Amino acid sequence: MFQLDPLLVWEWYLYRLGVCFRAKANAGHLAIASMEKSLSNRFTLITQNIDNLHIRAGNSPQRTFQIHGNIGLSRCSQSCVPELFKLPASLFSACKNQSLSETEQKMLRCHYCKSWLRPHVLWFDECYDEEYFRFDSSMNIAAKTDLLIIVGTSGSTTLPNHVTNLALRNNACIVDINPEDNPFSEIAVNSPGGMVFRRPASEVLRQLADCCPTPAVKDA
């Protein structure tokens, strides 16, 4: 669709971006941010979310792998440079189907080659990589982890499945938090010490975050 009608795709994305920008981090995001504060370099967040709310809640960009990209960023659709560009807030649309002025359209052109920029989001039929989506980093950390907490994913994309399989191979304890049954539930209950919470993520994550050591406790 982007190849057929980039402007239409941008209008849709800028509306979605406006929705994300106005959203606020919830108790689940805040609990995950407090886990990183407590666990420091023993913590990594691999997220399928593209709304940047984890970073806004306080997780660090270094320890947050946004494996499906970030809707607030763009890059050259012709890959003339690898650079990511932050989209100006003036472009965030408040309404659906809002058409873009010529000036706004110019802001969506690559600064170098003038081709269309594209949203920095992994689309269906595109591949994960390390440079943009931290694929290798996610695999490496999954292979070493002792505890994998899976929150609210249905497992319909490949990377979360790879992460779970690698953690399982490392004999990690796997915890699944999801109000709905999903492919990870059975894997979790069969992992060493693993369990399933059929309750809202915000509630369970707060309780788990409260079990983490206080930030003053240094790593052994």
| Part of the chain binding Zn ion (CB under 5 A), chosen from 47-55, 80-88, 140-148, 162-170 | 80-88
Per CB under 5 A, does 111 bind Zn ion?
no
Q: Which of 8, 23, 113, 217 binds Zn ion (CB under 5 A)?
A: 113
Measured from the CB atom, the residue of 48 and 105 that comes closer to Zn ion is 105
Give yes or no: 162 in active site.
no
Nearest 5°: the CA angle 130, 108, 131 is 5
Per CB under 5 A, does 25 bind Zn ion?
no
* From 29, 54, 68, 120, active-site residue: 68
Measured from the CB atom, the residue of 23 and 81 that comes closer to Zn ion is 81
Per CB under 5 A, does 19 bind Zn ion?
no
The enclosing H or E element of 196 equals: strand 195-197
**Nearest distance in Å: CB 61, Zn ion:** 24
The enclosing H or E element of 149 equals: strand 147-151
Per CB under 5 A, does 106 bind Zn ion?
no
Per CB under 5 A, does 108 bind Zn ion?
no
Q: 137-146 — which CB contacts under 8 Å span 24+ positions?
A: 137/65, 138/46, 138/65, 138/67, 138/162, 138/163, 139/163, 139/166, 141/44, 141/46, 142/46, 142/166, 142/167, 142/170, 143/167, 143/169, 143/170, 144/170, 145/44, 145/170, 145/172, 146/170, 146/172, 146/173
Per CB under 5 A, does 123 bind Zn ion?
no
Per CB under 5 A, does 112 bind Zn ion?
yes
The type of residue at 141 is I
Give the binding site for Zn ion (CB under 5 A): 76, 80, 110, 112-113, 115
Catalytic positions, please? 68
